[in-house]
Amino acid sequence: MDFLHYLVTSIPFFIRAAAVTVELTATALAMGMVIGLVFALMKISGRRFWRYIADTYITVIRGTPLIVQLFAIYFGLATIVDFGSFWSAAIALAVHNGAYIAEIFRGGIQSIDRGQMEAARSLGMSYGLAMRRVILPQAFKRVVPPLGNQFIIGLKDSSLAAFVTMKELFGVSMQLASTHFAELQFYTIAGLYYLALVVLFTFLVNRLERRLKVES
């Protein structure tokens, strides 16, 4: 009975928190897509310098915990620029996910037959134009499934923003749990909201994947 009571009475709090979670995740992943694409192109570049920069970034980010990166931005860069909790969390999530997205994009780009780039160049296209009009559209279709998985991971990783005072799902559940001394109940409720968001996002990604297959 207590669980049902908490589940119903906490709906307004968790709905607002879910909106914050979605906003944070969408912002972070939008930036992460840009970061990932830039570093993917750097990694497949013919210039050793750019490949070295990309390899260093990917190795460092993938080799250190997200919570460390989040604290480094929130507590470290805050001494220079006060981003606030939302943008600190968004930037940390973007940089973190960008390293994984870079590898996803790199794999997708390199999966396209090299002959297509050569054919595009023989038609007079520059490397950049051929990449934009020929290679990237095909690569994007191939990376939708792994990108969808990475987005779901990013959604769940956003829970760490609670540790920099963000009032997203996990942050609100921590606050309500400490107020009502009902940790199990409120953490379970938060888990249900995360599950609902993941199921919804998985459905949308699957629809996008099917649509792209139909159009191809």
C-alpha distance across the termini of the chain, in Å: 52
Q: What is the pLDDT of residue 96?
A: 97
Q: Which 3 state secondary structure label does DSSP give 125?
A: coil
Q: What is the pLDDT of residue 123?
A: 84
Q: What is the pLDDT of residue 126?
A: 86
Q: Which 3 state secondary structure label does DSSP give 107?
A: helix
Domains contained in the chain, CATH given: 1-212 (1.10.3720.10)
Q: What is the pLDDT of residue 68?
A: 95
Q: How many residues does the chain have?
A: 216
pLDDT at 214 over 60: no
pLDDT at 60 over 90: yes
Do 125 and 50 form a contact (C-beta atoms < 8 A)? no
**One-letter amino acid identity for 115?**
G
Q: What is the pLDDT of residue 2?
A: 86
Spatial distance between the Cα atoms of 77 and 84, rounded to a whole number of angstroms: 10
**One-letter amino acid identity for 118?**
E
Spatial distance between the Cα atoms of 213 and 193, rounded to a whole number of angstroms: 30
Q: What is the pLDDT of residue 119?
A: 87
- Exposure string for 126-154, b = 16+ CB within 10 A, e = fewer: eeeebbeebbbebbebbbbebbbebbbeb
Average pLDDT on 143-164 reads 93
pTM over cut 0.85? yes
Kindly report the backbone phi and psi dihedral angles of residue 45, in degrees, each rounded to the nearest multiple of 5, phi listed first: -65, 155
Least confident interval from 49-53, 138-142, 159-163: 138-142
Q: What is the pLDDT of residue 1?
A: 63
